[in-house]
Amino acid sequence: MKPAVKLAQLSRGMGALIGIAAVFVVLALAGVAFGSTWIPIDQVAGVILGGGDKTQQIIILQLRLPRVVAAILAGGAMGVAGYLLQKITRNTLASPGVLGVIDGAALGVVLFLALLSDESNALVTSIAWQPVAAAIGALTAIALVFILSGRQASSAIRLLLFGIAIAAVAKAITMVMMLVGPIYRTSQAARWIAGAVNEVNWGEIQITAIALVPVMALVFLAARKLPPADLDEVSARGVGLNLPLFRIAIFVLSAVLTALAVAFVGGIGFIGLMAPHLARLLVGRSITIGILGSFLVGAVMLVGADLIVRVLFAPLEVPAGTVTAVIGTPYFLFLLMRKGRTHG
Amino acid sequence: MPLWAMLCLLAVILLGAMLASLTLGYRVYGLDQVLAALTAFDSSEAHVVIANLRLPRALMAPVVGAGLGMAGVLVQTLSRNRIASPDTLGLNAGAAFAVVLASTVLGVSSMVGLSLASALGALLTALLVFGIAATAGGLSPIRIVLVGVTIAGLFHALVEVILTTNEAQLQQLLFWLAGAFVDRPMALVANGAPIMLVGALLAASLARALDALQADDTTAHGLGVPLGLIRAVAFLAISLLTGAAVAMAGPVSFVGLVVPHAARRLVGLRHGRQLAAAALLGAIYATLADVLARFVIFPGEAPVGAVTAVVGGVVLLALLMRRAA
């Protein structure tokens, strides 16, 4: 490829990225402004910068901003996790949801809450361990999927079925643990069933953000070693990429990203599937820009989904995960059917 | 072992499982107490528990299990797919969605109404999944299952929306949605059983045609099987069996996936015997799973659907690893 062409592509990607970022900012502001009482955007900006009256401060800083920030972080992490999984499995149908990673992470959290709570429903250890529990669950799930599928993992569709079976088992155990533990309070249970951003608080966001920074740094470091095009295993080894170990590293990173999203927000389906597709479509194939794009698109999707449930179902709190599922299901079916035609 | 001996043996095992269901639980009762409660009821605590709590579930579990087992056989033959089942094709979820929709939005409360809604939900889902499969130009077995599972996920999301907008029923429905035989009134069994029976009779009437259908469409056609009619009746039977089961106990997962495999191993591929064996095995499986569900988180009680989901998930993995699909 000529350098000039590559540069042109890159700048087109950058342009699209800036466009996505603009949408992202608008949606995030709208997410804060919209609610049972509308707060004009200029006043939102004022409050965030430290002004505004007491009521507005409480509404924005304590109620709305946490859920928007949580949606950004969780949606973004899911988007990047999906991007990495699709890249490394060379499988556009792969995502944390269908590979059982989301349900594995949710099981990790529910086990953590059930086993480490005392009689009065208080945790006996720091809540900061919750993402660790989620990560252990996520890693266990993805490891099981790949170990059990063995050589069948190279078949895009068969791999998904292993993921779905693992997810079903994890989901069933999660259900039992919710009934066992003191966490069986229905409002909270909904979080682990469908994923919701409405109950997240600043402490939880802080933990997520602190953990997310080094993980994303590692992702960008690893990204430079991702095969530039869709290399098969032999050619990748030919250009000096040590695939098996590298693959494991990428799987671990995507599992940890998923776990960070799931730890406080619950399982949000389909963002990990759709965000990378949309990002690739908009910003092209450059990897670094693709990762940034997946993060932003994922964040836009979850903030948008949360806005939709707030608009449609106010004053009720419907989990945002239901919106992503309702939109994501037809999309996934479309992909499946298209694949069915092109590959027999 | 001859067929009749095999079926008799299964029936005896089923009887044993039902007795276990009557005697075992948070309180363990003796057979004499069970007998007394059923013949000479005296309103003592033991008798109330046995007659009002244990008996309905000891009767419901076999009925539901038998229905799902037979539905599983029909689904697997119809789609020529060993990992198809009412769950993996989304029928359970469709039926559950229909029940939740009918009871919360339309205000249906009669058991007959809910059963019909449930059967209709299963039927529409079956048509949707097979329709998508057909328009995509003959999807592979695995792909049909992916379509089914995805649609099941969609129904779960929609149920979630309805539940959060009707919070009063959330707690109660959450348990039902996992699949459970607990706290079901006797009337539920009495109303659901006839629907189940109709489905079972329809299934039995198809047995010979299904034998011919098993190979491929051309063979079946050559043997003079009216394909369209057989498929339509089979869909109806599947919907009635699954619908009644879901209306009674909620979506008890993966019974319809696991049972047909066991039935085929025991009695072979002929559908008459396969259906009979699947009914008995399904009944035994559901009853024993229900007993087990009382002990996994003792003294609490797990939904039986969670138990069958874990077992079924593991069986599905084993089938995939053996490349049975």
DSSP string, A257-325: HHHHHHHHH----SHHHHHHHHHHHHH-S-HHHHHHHHHHHHHHHHHHHHHHHHHHHTTS---HHHHHH
Reported as a pLDDT band with limits 50, 70 and 90, residue A101 is very high
Of A165, A169, A340, the CB nearest to B137: A340
Tell me the nearest-neighbour CA distance from A232 into chain B, angstroms: 24
Does ipTM exceed 0.85?
A: no
Total count of domains within chain A: 1
pTM: 0.86
Per residue, what are the HEC states of B8-24?
HHHHHHHHHHHHHHHHC
Instruction: Give the model's pLDDT for residue A172.
Output: 87
Q: Is A117 helix (H, G, I), strand (E, B) or coil?
A: strand
All structural domains of chain B: 3-321 (1.10.3470.10)
Backbone angles phi, psi at B136, to 5 degrees: -80, 10
Residue with tokens 């269908």: A98
- Domain at A145, CATH number: 1.10.3470.10
Q: What is the mean pLDDT of chain B?
A: 87
Q: Of A135, A133, A141, which Cα lies nearest the Cα of A112?
A: A133
Of A319, A325, A340, the CB nearest to B164: A319
**Does residue A116 carry a pLDDT above 90?**
no
Partnered with residue A123 across adjacent β-strands are A117
Contacts of A318 (CB under 8 A, 6+ apart): A309, A312, B160, B161, B164, B165
Measured distance CA(B85)–CA(B315) in Å, rounded: 13
Tell me the nearest-neighbour CA distance from B174 into chain A, angstroms: 8
Instruction: Give the model's pLDDT for residue A218.
Output: 94
**Does residue A156 carry a pLDDT above 90?**
no
> What's the whole-number mean pLDDT along residues A187-210?
77
Sort out which chain B residues have CB atoms less than 8 A from A326's CB and list them: 154, 157-158
> What's the whole-number mean pLDDT along residues B2-25?
94
Q: Which of A133-147, B214-228, B297-311 has the lowest mean pLDDT?
A: B214-228
**Does residue A259 carry a pLDDT above 90?**
yes
Q: Which of A290-304, A330-344, B117-131 has the lowest mean pLDDT?
A: A330-344
Of B142, B154, B165, the CB nearest to A326: B154
Instruction: Give the model's pLDDT for residue A261.
Output: 92
Reported as a pLDDT band with limits 50, 70 and 90, residue B282 is very high
Contact at CB, A168 and B135, closer than 8 angstroms: no
Backbone angles phi, psi at B179, to 5 degrees: 90, 115
Contact at CB, A171 and B254, closer than 8 angstroms: no
Instruction: Give the model's pLDDT for residue B320.
Output: 86
Exposure class string for B19-50: b at 16+ Cβ within 10 A, else e: ebbbbebeeebeeebbebbeeeeeeeeebebb
**Does residue B33 carry a pLDDT above 60?**
yes
Contact at CB, A341 and B137, closer than 8 angstroms: yes
**Does residue A243 carry a pLDDT above 80?**
no
Contacts of B249 (CB under 8 A, 6+ apart): B60, B61, B64, B179, B180, B181, B184, B304, B305
Residue span of the structural domain in which A125 resides: 3-342
Q: Which of A35-49, A140-154, A174-188, A288-302 has the lowest mean pLDDT?
A: A174-188
> What's the whole-number mean pLDDT along residues B221-227?
84
Q: Which residue of A has its CA nearest to B135?
A: A337
What tokens were used for A151? 């050589």
Of B150, B164, B321, the CB nearest to A190: B164
Q: Which amino acid is at B199?
A: G
Q: What is the mean pLDDT of chain A?
A: 83
Sort out which chain B residues have CB atoms less than 8 A from A339's CB and list them: 143
Give the model confidence (pLDDT) of B51-104 as tens digits: 888 999 999 999 999 999 999 999 999 888 888 899 889 999 999 999 888 888
* CA distance readout (Å), B290 to A232, B15, B25, B43: 49, 14, 10, 25
**Does residue A30 carry a pLDDT above 70?**
yes
> What's the whole-number mean pLDDT along residues B186-206?
91
